[in-house]
Amino acid sequence: MYLILLFLSGVTSNVSYITTALIIFEVMPVRLRSFGYFCTGLGYAVGYLMVSGIAYFVRDWRLYLKLCGGAEFIYVLYFFIIDETPQWLIANNKFEEAKKLIKKIKSMGGRSIDNIEDSPMLKLNDNTSLGMWETFKTILKLPKLLIRLAILCLAWLIVVMTYYTIALNLNSLSGNRFINIMFGGIVEICNVTLFCLFVETRGRRDTFIGTMFLCGLGIAVSPFLITSYGQLSVATTMFSKLMVGIAFAVLYVYPGELFPTNLRHTIFGICNMFGRTGGLISPFLIYSSDSGSILGPSLATAGIILFTSSLFFCLPKTKSNQLPKSVEDALKLQASVNCCRNNERDIEAKLVVRKAQAWKWKKKYYLKLLLSLL
């Protein structure tokens, strides 16, 4: 029973965090999207910092779990407070609900609610009328979007694996374990702050590449410092945690800016599934370092990190871009390095989207005709 409850706790908490990130950057304007995620990440960082204090004063693990788990009941109130995003409602053909929500948003902002039909939120591309499964099947036929998805899945796997390998190994570092966890929380606050600064100046893609390169460098150097310079090794580990934490924050913002609205949550789910696989691998990396030299695993991990970050040159920059509302909007984003034949693929993509949309309207037409005959 304990394992079942722990599993449910991990699943639901992870889903709620991803959903929070999605709601924020779908609702926030482009110029404030990074700041919106900064607020979410800051809440996580403060909670991480509180863990060391609670664990220090509450040594009984059962009481500790009761205190932390009891705080989760505040989410019940969110069902009555938080609305769905207008973009999701429109992308899934719930126009009446979207109109009511837009009226509510405008009235709360003190703006006129006349001519709600002329709202920019309601003027989406016709391709958003495609359902989620039709859009997903369309993406499976588009090499450019499949390459993006594959790169992001690999990035999630490596980033989560690296993040939790460092985070779960803080207890084994030299020094007081409670203080090490506290430093880990301080690093979390620093990484969400630096994330907000870096993505606004360098963009999402370049921030990920730079921070993962520095993280890999720190992991590669750390084994050479453990025996002679223990405190310097701790500092290097914290620096690597800082860098991979910034990259982790980028992965919560960047994928949603590469895919259309009615597939955004699905893409996050797929990427996060690969990320949790990386989380499963991280304990084995920790135990492998305990059973022998950590030089081999550290250098191998650093090499994989550098390889993953280099693949991001195949992805487009999205700084200051509007969120793509359809498959065609997503295809218009161009990368610095062409990973497939763009011209031919774009023509094929447009044909695929149009065929899918035409088939959907045909199904509606035949259904109406059948109902009229009956």
Average pLDDT, the chain: 76
* CB neighbour class for 3 (10 Å; exposed up to 12, middle 13-18, buried from 19): exposed
Which H/E stretch holds residue 340? none
Query: Cα–Cα distance between 183 and 8 in angstroms, integer?
Result: 29
Q: What is the mean pLDDT of residues 338-360?
A: 53
Query: Cα–Cα distance between 324 and 322 in angstroms, integer?
Result: 6
Percent of the chain scoring above 70 in pLDDT: 76
CB of 246 closer than 8 Å to CB of 211: yes
- In this predicted model, what pLDDT tens digit does every residue of 66-78 receive, in sequence order? 888 787 788 888 8
206 has pLDDT over 60: yes
Phi, psi of 252 (to 5 degrees): -85, -15
Q: To which residue do tokens 């979390």 refer? A: 188
CB atoms within 10 A of CB 266: 15
Q: Quote the DSSP letter at residue 119.
A: -
Q: How many angstroms separate the Cα of 130 from the Cα of each of 290, 292, 365?
A: 52, 54, 15
CB of 89 closer than 8 Å to CB of 105: no
Q: Which residues pair with residue 335 across a beta bridge?
A: 316
Is pLDDT larger for residue 123 or for residue 138? 138
Q: What is the mean pLDDT of residues 357-364?
A: 57
Query: Cα–Cα distance between 267 and 124 in angstroms, integer?
Result: 20
Output the six-digit token pair for 53: 């204090």
DSSP string, 168-188: HTGGGSSS-HHHHHHHHHHHH
320: left (phi over 0), alpha (psi -120 to 50) or beta: left
CA angle, corner 318, sides to 201 and 187, nearest 5? 50
**Can you give the pLDDT at residue 339?**
59
User: Where does the pLDDT of residue 296 fall: very low under 50, low under 70, confident under 90, or very high at 90 and above?
Assistant: confident
pTM listed for this prediction: 0.72
User: Where does the pLDDT of residue 297 fall: very low under 50, low under 70, confident under 90, or very high at 90 and above?
Assistant: confident
Query: Cα–Cα distance between 304 and 325 in angstroms, integer?
Result: 33
- In this predicted model, what pLDDT tens digit does every residue of 95-117 receive, in sequence order? 788 788 878 777 776 665 555 45
- In this predicted model, what pLDDT tens digit does every residue of 144-178 receive, in sequence order? 888 898 999 999 999 999 888 887 766 666 667 78
208 has pLDDT over 90: yes
Q: What is the mean pLDDT of residues 186-192?
A: 84
Q: What SS3 state is found at 324?
A: coil
Q: At what angle do helices 33-57 and 61-70 cross, to 10 degrees?
A: 150
Q: What SS3 state is found at 316?
A: strand
Contacting residues for 13 by C-beta, under 8 A, at least 6 apart:
72
